[in-house]
Structure 1
Amino acid sequence: MRTFTDFDELIAAAGQELGTSDWLRIEQDRVNQFADATGDHQWIHVDVERAASGPFGGTIAHGYLTLSLIPMLGAQVFTLDTPGAKLNYGVNKVRFPAPLRVGSRVRDTVSVKEVTDLPSGKQLTLGHVIEIENGDKPACVAETVVLLLL
């Protein structure tokens, strides 16, 4: 676990990989709860019987569910104890290269892409690769943007 307590530490980490989270198993219950929360009940996510004979051989997690795991998994890799508020500002270049089958395990490898100056503080761009255990391609690749206010 890496802890950043000031902006200079973050600036020095630009271009570095910070580490990798623990593995997390994706269970059908999590997928069902996400479907309920978002209203996306497409059968490839929630109908276990139908999905078994579908294109992925079983149910798959929603892409946005996979993306939503970034804060939880990333918190296992680093923390920001910098002064001031921290705000999620956005997400860049999100892709879902491979379907994430229910029952699979994933983990997040986090890197600091860029730290830029703002009048009110810093903008931190982080790279995330959500790897599927024994998979050829990741489930998700994304850049998140965080505003670190003074």
Structure 2
Amino acid sequence: MSKITIRSLAELEALAGQELGVSEPHTITQEQINQFAAATLDFQWIHTDPARAAAESPFKATIAHGYLTVSLLPYLWEQIVAIENLKMQVNYEIESLRFNQAVTVDSQVRLRASLLTVANLRGIAKARVGVTLEIDGQKKPAYTGVVTFLYHFLEA
């Protein structure tokens, strides 16, 4: 599926209630996990010690931090939708986020997104997006939830 380009509030509203697409796969590497651990000061061994994780973890490998997978949302979302003609975009809310499955190192993940609703707040678009982070080869996704973005479009 190709990327959807949206240039106005009206174009965004026209897509409400539809699945917008799926991102390209992204591989979660140990280097990325280690960099996230350094940035967040979360060095728990299940993330950063491959030898111990192989021996002691039920996953038999290190796993990505749950918040690392959430932090990929903007990157993966931009592979699905290009929002143009903007003054500003604001990450507004995450609701009903549920971590369903750990993401082991070297797994490929992809984002599936649906535009649930769009509300016009005096010219600012409040877009609620249903998100699922799928893991290749797994029945359960890494997480499901709803994220809300505020889009301040330029005057048309």
Q: Deviations over 1:40-74 (max 9, x none)?
A: 00110001011012121110000000001111111
User: Distance in 1 between the 2:123 and 2:15 partners?
Assistant: 20
Q: CA RMSD in A?
A: 1.1
- Regions of 4+ moved over 2 Å: none
Residue of structure 1 in register with 2:42 after alignment: 40
Residue of structure 2 in register with 1:15 after alignment: 17
Q: Which runs of 5+ in 1 are unaligned?
A: none
Aligned pair count reads: 150
- Please give the TM-score of this superposition, normalised by the length of structure 1: 0.95
Residue of structure 2 in register with 1:85 after alignment: 88
Residue type of the alignment partner of 2:137 = N
Q: Deviations over 1:62-98 (max 9, x none)?
A: 0000001111111111011144321111211111100
Alignment of 1:1-150 (within 5 A): 1-53=3-55, 54-150=57-153
Contact 1:7 1:82 in 2 (8 A): no
User: Distance in 2 between the 1:94 and 1:130 partners?
Assistant: 11
User: Distance in 2 between the 1:34 and 1:90 partners?
Assistant: 22
1:120 offset after TM fit, Å?
4.8
- Please give the TM-score of this superposition, normalised by the length of structure 2: 0.92
